Amino acid sequence: MTNVRALQDRVRHAVSTSEALCITGGNSKRELGREPAGSLTDVSTLSGVVEYQPTELMITVRAGTRISTLRDVLAEEDQVLACEPPVFGGSATIGGTLACNQSGPSRPWYGSIRDHVLGVRLINGKAEHLRFGGQVMKNVAGYDVSRLQAGAMGIFGILTEVSLKVLPRPESSLTVRREIDANEAIRLMNEISATPTPLTGACWHDGAMYLRLSGPAPVIEAAAPKLNGKLIGDSDLFWQGLREQTLPFFDSAEILWRMSVRPNSPHHKEQRDWLIDWGGAQRWLAGQDDFGELEASATGYGGEVSSIRGGDRSGDVLPTLGEAKRELLIRLKQAFDPAGVFNPGRLYSWL
C-alpha cells in the first residue's frame, strides 16, 4: 500500500497549497472532456490483481491495471469483461475506463462498465482511503457511490481499486453484413433486438449494417440465415476496430461528436458522415457542427450530445445539465472534494 500512502500525502499537500491535481493513468483518454488542468498525478503504478474468484464471477484489480492485462487474466479462465471496454493500444486502465464510462459494441446487451462495477476504493479530498460497495451484488447497500464514479472523470477522488463482475466467454461468434440505408438499418436493428436472436453487436456505416451473433455455435449458425445478409470473414477485426475507434471513420474525423438517443430515433442530416452503433442508440458524427443545434436534435430524440474530439475544448463539451442535476453535482463535488483539487473544470467549466 506504499503507493496509496504516497497518493494520500500528495492529496494532503495539494489541499494545503491549493494545488490542482490532474489524475492520469495510461493517458489514453486525454481528449475526453475539457482541457485537463493541474499537476499530473500518475496512478499507473497502482496495478495488479488484488483478488480473483472465477467461480464467483468477480475480480478486484488496482485502478492502474491495464485493460489488456485484465483481459489476459480473465482469458486464462475463459472469462471476459462483457462490456468490451477499449484497450486503446494497450494503454487504457480500468480506473480511466470507469471514470470515462467507456464500453464497447456489446453495451446494449451486456450492460455498460457501470453495470459491471461491484465496488471501488478511492482517496477523497480529505486524503481518506474509502471503500464503497463490495465484491458481490448482494452486499451493495446505501448510496451507490461505486457506480457514481462512472463518467465522473475523476472529480470525486483518486480511484485505487475496482471490483468487477465478469462473465464466461461466448462459445462462438459470427457477423452478418447487409447493404442497406441508415433508416432501414435502424428499423431492422430495433426489430431484431426485440427478438430472441443472440445479438451482441449492431452497427451501421457507409451503406452497410453489421450484426454480430454470439453464443453456442449451433444456435448462432441457425440464426444467421434469418438475417438475410452475407457472412464476413475475420469479423473480429471489424468489431475490434469499432471498439478501439481505429476504423477509417474515426481515423479521418478531426472533429467528432457522440449522440446518445433512443435507438429507434430517425436518421437525420443524412448528407453527413455518420456511424451508428448500439443498435441505433449511439451515433457518431464527423465534422464541424453547431453544438446547440445538435443538442436540440438529441434532446428531441430523448438523448444528449457530447463533443468528443477537436473543436473548442475551452468551453463545455458535455451535455447541458438542468438546474437540479447541476446543483446535485456541485453538492457531490463539495462532499467528496471540499477543496476542489481533483481534475477541476475537466467535466464542466463551473465544477
Q: Give pLDDT tens digits for 307-342.
A: 999 988 888 999 999 999 999 999 999 999 999 999
- Is 23 in the same domain as 154? yes
**Residue at 254 is within a domain:** yes
* pLDDT of amino acid 314: 85
**Residue at 341 is within a domain:** no
**Residue at 64 is within a domain:** yes
- Is 198 in the same domain as 147? no
Phi-psi region of 302 (alpha: psi -120 to 50; beta: other; left: phi over 0): left
**Residue at 189 is within a domain:** yes
**Residue at 301 is within a domain:** yes
Weakly modelled stretches of the chain, pLDDT under 50: 1
- Is 155 in the same domain as 250? no
CATH number reported for the structural domain that contains residue 82 in this entry: 3.30.465.10
Q: Encode the chain in three state secondary structure.
A: CHHHHHHHHHHHHHHHHCCCEEEECCCCCCCCCCCCCCEEEECCCCCCEEEEEHHHCEEEEECCCEHHHHHHHHHCCCEECCCCCCCHHHCCEHHHHHHCCCCCCCHHHHCCHHHHEEEEEEECCCCCEEEEECCCHHHCCCCCHHHHCCCCCCCCCEEEEEEEECEECCCEEEEEEEECCHHHHHHHHHHHHCCCCCEEEEEEECCEEEEEEEECHHHHHHHHHHHCCEECCCHHHHHHHHHHCCCHHHHCCCCEEEEECCCCCCCCCCCCEEEEEHHHCEEEEECCCCHHHHHHHHHHCCCEEEEEECCCCCCCCCCCCCHHHHHHHHHHHHHHCCCCCECCCCCCCCC
- Is 57 in the same domain as 193? no
Asked which of 120, 140, 168 is the last residue of a domain, the reply is 168
- Is 68 in the same domain as 194? no
Residue 22's domain comprises 2-168
- Is 36 in the same domain as 111? yes
**Per the structure, how many domains does the chain have?**
2
* pLDDT of amino acid 169: 96
Q: Residue 187, Cα to own-chain centre: how many angstroms?
A: 25
Asked which of 168, 187, 217 is the last residue of a domain, the reply is 168
Asked which of 168, 197, 228 is the last residue of a domain, the reply is 168
* pLDDT of amino acid 250: 96
Beta strands at 21-24 and 39-42: parallel, antiparallel or unpaired: parallel
- Is 160 in the same domain as 27? yes
pLDDT in tens, 221-238: 999 999 999 999 878 899
User: What single-letter amino acid sits at 45?
Assistant: T
- Is 99 in the same domain as 231? no
**Residue at 230 is within a domain:** yes
Instruction: Give the separation between CA 105 and CA 158, rounded to whole angstroms.
Output: 28
* pLDDT of amino acid 139: 53
- Is 104 in the same domain as 16? yes
**Residue at 142 is within a domain:** yes
- Is 144 in the same domain as 179? no
pLDDT in tens, 12-36: 999 999 999 999 999 999 889 998 8
- Is 128 in the same domain as 217? no
- Is 176 in the same domain as 286? yes
* pLDDT of amino acid 321: 96
**Residue at 334 is within a domain:** no
Q: Cα–Cα–Cα angle for 184, 190, 196, nearest 5°?
A: 130
